[in-house]
């Protein structure tokens, strides 16, 4: 499964899921969902689930990228295509921000930023108590890391050496108001996470070889992967374009997007 | 625990937070699913004994209330019964969104223990007072909100929460030396109000420390030929509608009393329920919406007119047959 060309195909399918579902629903968080698509692809390619107790946990802390997660869950057969297409339907199970549904690997209700890491810590402590060696993957965003509660979590993880969590920072360098350098210019992520006690690894978040190596890092420390990504990755007119943090596709844009993915 | 006079006296010497620590330590067993989490208030929660007995069931997150609630939520999602404590204003406000979005929204089994609520902070001042915690926590779907009357009831609440599943906020009021409302054993059930005194003319509905003050106020009223019933509404959410329905038909005047802002507290909750019903007029006694200058606990209660004498005066002034 973790063969790179196979992962490329899966990632492309997930991006198609995002574009098709987002087009149908009129509006969606395209940019961030597309920036973390390759990370999602890799995580679910190594994701272990023997039963409801003995399962890895994936925490989408940047909850506005729910469409990316739903797209991945559909590609890895945790939800059906029919379920995926109920995205943003009135009273549906799959709104713009995730609603907890463990059966379907939606570990928590998220959307409010900075709440996922602490939740993951609670689960990580619980797994240790139960003697389970499953992993907890937490996907956060660089914008989300503006939240103080995010750093409360980092502090705890470092101090108590919670090393059954792998934290991935989807560093697309943008956020709701545009480019992060213009909103709150935060840099030196490796230094920051290292000083908190993480093994911090910076990678190209769209390169499966680098993603795989980062996830395979041998260390006793908790791992933080700073994945440098491109917001809107895969659809040229969306890439690094603040307008596509949240937006709607018209027919022409939709066809253009699909063509790019197929090309 | 046997609630004989000796034990009741002992509990009252501990103050409500001391009772919290003792009760949690007493009800926990090595193989159960209890976990205590604190935000740098192990000693203030009087959890030293718990820590010694169950070091693996205790987590100190440091001064990080938001993280405390999120970690508690994660633990609860894995099947643990989590008790998370810190001082009431921080327990209810600093991490309000975590309580709402993680405990309420996901309906997780975490009990938030708000220590030293009301004016118990005394000289510590307004940053340490818990004046709006009932108002805030009761807006959250799935939440249970409990404010025990005294040390005996605090013990009973913690006991009851061992088998209660779902998010809960427990508001602990009073200081060392605050008198007990209960002098003997009684039966406690979450959501079920308790009649403490039987009278005919008016109903006084109180919560937390104000239960004891109400009992004393009723004595003053009696001397003035007003016969008052006193009810302990330890559970503010879910409100005991059955008892309220009976109270509405039985008395021609209601008084609600709490050591909390008048806005959003027990009085408000009852007024909301009462609004579209045939019910007697209601006098809401509580704390005015100001930040007062700090002082010791008894001084603050007196300034807020929350002593038995002042409560009785206010009722006498407002009651019309």
* pLDDT tens digits, B105-117: 999 999 999 999 9
Tokens of B201: 């003319």
CB-nearest to B97 from A112, A123, A156 is: A112
Average pLDDT over residues A145-149: 98
Contact B99, B69 (CB under 8 A): yes
* pLDDT tens figures, A164-219: 999 999 999 999 999 999 999 999 999 999 999 999 999 999 999 999 999 999 99
- On the question of a common fold for B5-171 and B194-318, the answer reads yes
Domain range for residue A95?
Answer: 4-262
Q: What is the pLDDT of residue B1?
A: 87
- List the domain boundaries for chain B: 5-171, 194-318
pLDDT class for B280, splitting at 50, 70, 90?
very high
B34-38 β-sheet, strand order: B58-60, B34-38, B81-87, B110-115, B168-171, B144-146, B235-237
Say which CATH number the domain at A63 has.
Answer: 3.40.50.970
Residue to substitute from A108, A121, A122, A125, interface B, most B β-carbons within 10 A: A122
Count CB atoms within 10 A of the CB of residue B63. Answer: 14
Contact A93, A101 (CB under 8 A): yes
How many Cα atoms within 13 Å fall on the side-chain side of residue B191?
Answer: 8
Cβ distance of B98 and A123 shorter than 8 Å: no
**B36 contacts on A by Cβ (under 8 Å):** none
Provide the 3-class DSSP secondary structure of residue B170: strand
Average pLDDT over residues B23-47: 95
**A121 contacts on B by Cβ (under 8 Å):** 67, 70-71, 74
B33 and A CB contact within 8 Å: no
B191 and A CB contact within 8 Å: no
Tokens of A1: 């499964």
- Nearest partner of A122 among B159, B18, B82, B129, judged by Cα: B82
Surface of B (211-250) touching A: CB under 8 A: none
Q: What is the pLDDT of residue A117?
A: 98
* Catalytic (active site) residue B48: no
Tell me the C-alpha distance between A48 and B154, whole Å. Answer: 44
**What was the ipTM of the complex prediction?**
0.97
pLDDT at A26 over 90: no
Q: What is the pLDDT of residue A10?
A: 98
Q: What is the pLDDT of residue A1?
A: 52
pLDDT class for B321, splitting at 50, 70, 90?
low
Q: Which of B10, B30, B65, B159 is catalytic?
A: B65
Which residue, chain included where needed, has tokens 């998010």? Answer: B167
**B76 contacts on A by Cβ (under 8 Å):** 122
Residue to substitute from B63, B64, B67, B82, interface A, most A β-carbons within 10 A: B67
Q: What is the pLDDT of residue A4?
A: 77
pLDDT class for A115, splitting at 50, 70, 90?
very high
Q: What is the pLDDT of residue B59?
A: 98
- Which residues, in sequence order, are CB contacts of A259 under 8 Å at separation 6+? none
A117 and B CB contact within 8 Å: yes
Surface of A (134-193) touching B: CB under 8 A: 148-149, 152-153, 155-156, 159
pLDDT class for B45, splitting at 50, 70, 90?
confident
pTM to 2 decimal places: 0.97
Average pLDDT over residues A34-63: 97
Total of domains in chain A: 1
Which residue, chain included where needed, has tokens 């009252």? Answer: B12
**B81 contacts on A by Cβ (under 8 Å):** none
* pLDDT tens figures, A52-100: 999 999 999 999 999 999 999 999 999 999 999 999 999 999 999 999 9
Regarding beta strands B34-38 and B81-87, do their DSSP bridges make them parallel or antiparallel, or are they unpaired?
Answer: parallel
Regarding beta strands B235-237 and B202-206, do their DSSP bridges make them parallel or antiparallel, or are they unpaired?
Answer: unpaired
* pLDDT tens figures, B171-198: 999 999 999 999 999 999 999 999 999 9
Tell me the C-alpha distance between B150 and B125, whole Å. Answer: 22
Residue B313 bridge partners (DSSP): none
Q: What is the pLDDT of residue B4?
A: 93
Give the architecture (CATH level 2) of B5-171.
3-Layer(aba) Sandwich (3.40)
Q: Find the closest chain B residue to A129 by CA distance.
A: B56
CB-nearest to B98 from A115, A148, A156 is: A115
**B105 contacts on A by Cβ (under 8 Å):** 109
Average pLDDT over residues B124-151: 98
Topology classification of domain B194-318: Rossmann fold (3.40.50)
pLDDT at B320 over 80: no
Contact B253, B316 (CB under 8 A): no
């Amino acid at each position: 499964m973790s063969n790179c060309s196979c992962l490329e195909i899966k990632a492309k399918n997930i991006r198609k899921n995002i574009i098709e579902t987002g087009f149908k629903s009129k509006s969606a968080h395209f940019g961030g969902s597309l920036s973390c698509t390759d990370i999602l692809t890799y995580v679910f390619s190594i994701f272990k689930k023997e039963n409801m107790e003995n399962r890895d946990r994936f925490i989408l802390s940047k909850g506005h990228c729910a469409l990316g997660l739903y797209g991945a869950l559909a590609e890895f057969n945790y939800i059906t295509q029919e379920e995926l297409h109920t995205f943003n339907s009135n009273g549906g199970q799959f709104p713009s921000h995730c609603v907890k549904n463990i059966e379907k690997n939606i570990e928590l209700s998220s959307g409010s930023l900075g709440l996922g890491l602490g939740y993951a810590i609670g689960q990580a402590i619980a797994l240790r108590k139960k003697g389970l060696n499953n992993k907890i993957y937490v996907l956060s965003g660089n914008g989300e890391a503006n939240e103080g509660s995010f750093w409360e979590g980092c502090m705890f993880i470092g101090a108590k050496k919670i090393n059954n969590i792998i934290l991935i920072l989807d560093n697309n360098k943008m956020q709701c108001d545009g480019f992060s350098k213009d909103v709150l210019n935060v840099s030196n992520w490796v230094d920051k996470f290292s000083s908190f006690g993480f093994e911090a690894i910076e990678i190209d978040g769209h390169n499966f070889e680098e993603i795989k190596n980062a996830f395979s890092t041998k260390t006793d420390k908790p791992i933080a992967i700073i994945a440098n990504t491109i917001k809107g990755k895969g659809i040229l007119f969306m890439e690094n374009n603040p307008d596509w943090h949240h937006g709607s596709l018209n027919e022409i844009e939709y066809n253009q997007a699909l063509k790019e993915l197929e090309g | 625990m046997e609630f004989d006079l000796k034990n009741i006296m002992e509990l009252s010497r501990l103050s409500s937070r001391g009772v919290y620590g003792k009760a949690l330590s007493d009800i926990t067993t090595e193989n159960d699913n209890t976990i205590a989490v604190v935000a740098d208030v192990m000693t203030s929660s009087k959890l030293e004994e718990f820590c010694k007995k169950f070091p693996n069931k205790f987590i100190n997150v440091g001064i990080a209330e938001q993280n405390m609630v999120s970690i508690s939520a994660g633990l609860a999602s894995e099947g643990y019964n989590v008790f998370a404590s810190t001082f009431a204003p921080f327990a209810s406000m600093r991490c309000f969104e975590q309580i709402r979005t993680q405990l309420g929204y996901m309906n997780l089994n975490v009990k938030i223990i708000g220590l030293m609520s009301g004016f118990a902070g005394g000289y510590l001042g307004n940053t340490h007072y818990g004046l709006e915690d009932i108002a805030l926590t009761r807006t959250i779907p799935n939440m249970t909100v409990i404010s025990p009357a005294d040390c005996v009831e605090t013990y009973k609440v913690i006991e009851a929460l061992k088998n209660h599943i779902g998010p809960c906020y427990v508001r602990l009021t009073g200081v060392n030396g605050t008198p007990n409302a209960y002098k003997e054993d009684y039966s406690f059930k979450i959501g079920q109000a308790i009649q403490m005194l039987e009278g005919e003319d008016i109903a006084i509905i109180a919560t937390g420390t104000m239960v004891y003050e109400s009992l004393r106020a009723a004595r003053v009223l009696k001397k003035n030929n007003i016969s008052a019933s006193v009810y302990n509404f330890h559970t503010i959410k879910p409100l005991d509608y059955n008892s309220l329905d009976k109270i509405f038909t039985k008395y021609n005047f209601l008084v609600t009393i709490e050591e909390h802002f008048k806005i959003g507290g027990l009085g408000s909750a009852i007024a909301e329920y009462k609004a579209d019903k045939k019910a007697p007029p209601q006098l809401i006694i509580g704390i005015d919406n100001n930040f007062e200058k700090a002082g010791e606990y008894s001084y603050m209660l007196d300034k807020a007119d929350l002593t038995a004498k002042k409560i009785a005066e206010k009722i006498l002034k407002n009651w019309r047959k």
